[in-house]
Amino acid sequence: MSRRALQVATAVLGGVPVITGVAGMMGLSDPLYAGLNLPTDATLDSNMRFFGGVWLGLGLCVWWLVPRIATQTALFRAAWLMIALGGVGRLLSIALVGLPLTPFVAFTALEMIGAPLFIWWQHRVAQDA
């Protein structure tokens, strides 16, 4: 449960919102959605690109935190809280609409299980610093 291990895990996981955020900026042409044959809709495309940009920004924020992992507790927790809230949204979607594509089920598990674990892990690292 070392600082270095937390930094590496955070950096690796920070790549998820960076990569998927860049893909989300492609709007309806995002490779994850292209096979769904969604209708062309300017509002949906605009929202997908907007949320892709927000997601990209969160990933860049997480990467910014890596060298400051032991001292930026509030921002670290805020980032993981945002991720967990996204997971709550996914759980609502699963309950109301059904299961999404497999990668999104895995993202949901990471968001709901990973968030509290990473917050706890960072708390331990901050206490030891």
> Residue 98 and residue 117: Cα distance in Å, rounded?
26
pLDDT in tens, 65-78: 999 999 999 999 99
- pLDDT value at residue 34: 80
Token couple for 7: 């930094």
Q: In the chain, what are the domain boundaries?
A: 3-128
pLDDT in tens, 43-54: 999 999 999 999
What would the mean pLDDT of 108-112 be, rounded to a whole number?
Answer: 93
pTM, entire model: 0.88
Question: Mean pLDDT of all residues in the chain?
Answer: 94
Side-chain half-sphere exposure of 39, counting CA atoms within 13 A: 2
